Amino acid sequence: MSMRGIYSSVTDIRRKVFTEVARLAYEGGDYSRIEELPYKIVPGEVAKYRESIFLERAIVGERLRLAMGLPLRPIDEHTLISDGVNESAVAEKYYDPPLVNIIKFACNACPEKEIRVTDCCQGCLAHPCSEVCPKGAITIQHGRSHIDPAKCIKCGRCVDVCPYGAINRLERPCAKACGMNAISSDAQGRATIDYDKCVSCGMCIVNCPFGAISDKGQIFQLIHAIKAGQRVIAIVAPAFVGQFGPSVTPKNLESAMKQLGFDSMVEVAIGADLCTIEEAKDFMREVPEHQPFMATSCCPSWSVMAKKLFPDLAPYISMALTPMVLTARLQKKMHKNCKIAFIGPCSAKKLEASRRTIRSDVDFVLTFEELMGMFEAKGVDLSSLEDSTMMDEATGAGRGFAVSGGVAQAVADVIKKLDPDREVKIASAQGLQECRKMLQLAKAGKYNGYLLEGMGCPGGCVAGAGTIQPVRKSAASVAKFQHDSEHQNAMDSTYKITLSLLD
DSSP strand E in 52-188: where? 100-102, 113-117, 138-141, 144-147, 167-171, 183-185
Q: Helix H segments across 287-322?
A: 300-309
Fill in the DSSP letter of residue 492. G
Strand pairing of 167-171 and 113-117? Answer: antiparallel
Is the per-residue pLDDT at 499 higher than 60? yes
What is the structure's pLDDT at 205? 97
Q: Is the domain of 149 the same as that of 245?
A: no
Whether residue 62 lies inside any domain: the answer is: no
Task: Band the pLDDT of 86: cuts 50, 70, 90.
Answer: confident
Q: Is the domain of 395 the same as that of 284?
A: yes
Hey, how many other C-beta atoms are within 10 angstroms of the C-beta on 434?
16
Rounded-to-integer distance, Cα 457 and Cα 403, Å: 10
Q: What is the 3-state secondary structure (H, E, C) of 346-411?
A: CCHHHHHHHCCCCCCCCCEEEEHHHHHHHHHHHCCCCCCCCCCCCCCCCCHHHHHHHCCCHHHHHH
Q: Is the domain of 368 the same as that of 486?
A: yes
Backbone dihedral angles phi then psi of residue 102, each to the nearest 5 degrees: -105, 120
Q: Is the domain of 288 the same as that of 226?
A: yes
Domain range for 326 is 221-502
Backbone dihedral angles phi then psi of residue 146, each to the nearest 5 degrees: -135, 130
What value does the mean pLDDT take over residues 272-291? 95
Fill in the DSSP letter of residue 98. P
Whether the CB-CB separation of 147 and 153 falls below 8 Å is answered with no
Within a 13 Å sphere around the CA of 486, how many CA atoms are in the beta-carbon half? 7
Whether residue 33 lies inside any domain: the answer is: no
CA 250 to each of CA 17, 260, 322, 390, 392: distance values in angstroms, whole numbers, following the listed order: 26, 17, 22, 9, 10
End-to-end CA distance of the chain: 43
**Side chain identity, residue 210:** F
What is the structure's pLDDT at 331? 95
Is the per-residue pLDDT at 1 higher than 70? no
Q: Is the domain of 157 the same as that of 235?
A: no
Task: Band the pLDDT of 390: cuts 50, 70, 90.
Answer: low
Is the per-residue pLDDT at 500 higher than 70? no
Q: What is the pLDDT of residues 285-336, one digit of tens each?
A: 999 999 999 999 999 999 999 999 999 999 999 999 999 999 999 999 999 9
Whether residue 205 lies inside any domain: the answer is: no
What is the structure's pLDDT at 168? 96
Strand pairing of 232-236 and 339-344? Answer: parallel
Q: Is the domain of 132 the same as that of 271?
A: no
What value does the mean pLDDT take over residues 91-112? 89
Q: Is the domain of 330 the same as that of 391?
A: yes
Q: Is the domain of 118 the same as that of 236?
A: no
Backbone dihedral angles phi then psi of residue 2, each to the nearest 5 degrees: -115, 160
What value does the mean pLDDT take over residues 211-235? 97
Whether residue 354 lies inside any domain: the answer is: yes
Q: Is the domain of 454 the same as that of 308?
A: yes
Q: Number of structural domains, the chain?
A: 2
**Side chain identity, residue 36:** E
Whether residue 9 lies inside any domain: the answer is: no
CATH number at residue 159: 3.30.70.20
Task: Band the pLDDT of 503: cuts 50, 70, 90.
Answer: low
Whether residue 195 lies inside any domain: the answer is: no
Q: Quote the pTM value.
A: 0.95
Please give the torsion angle defined by the CA atoms of residues 62, 66, 72 and 77, in that order, rounded to the nearest 10 degrees.
-50
Q: What is the pLDDT of residues 19-50, one digit of tens each?
A: 999 999 999 999 999 999 999 999 999 999 99
Cα 30 to the center of its chain, rounded Å: 33
What is the structure's pLDDT at 41? 97
Whether residue 51 lies inside any domain: the answer is: no
Q: Is the domain of 373 the same as that of 259?
A: yes
Q: Is the domain of 160 the same as that of 242?
A: no
What is the structure's pLDDT at 93? 67
DSSP SS3 for 478: helix
Q: Is the domain of 279 the same as that of 360?
A: yes
Whether residue 138 lies inside any domain: the answer is: yes
Is the per-residue pLDDT at 234 higher than 60? yes
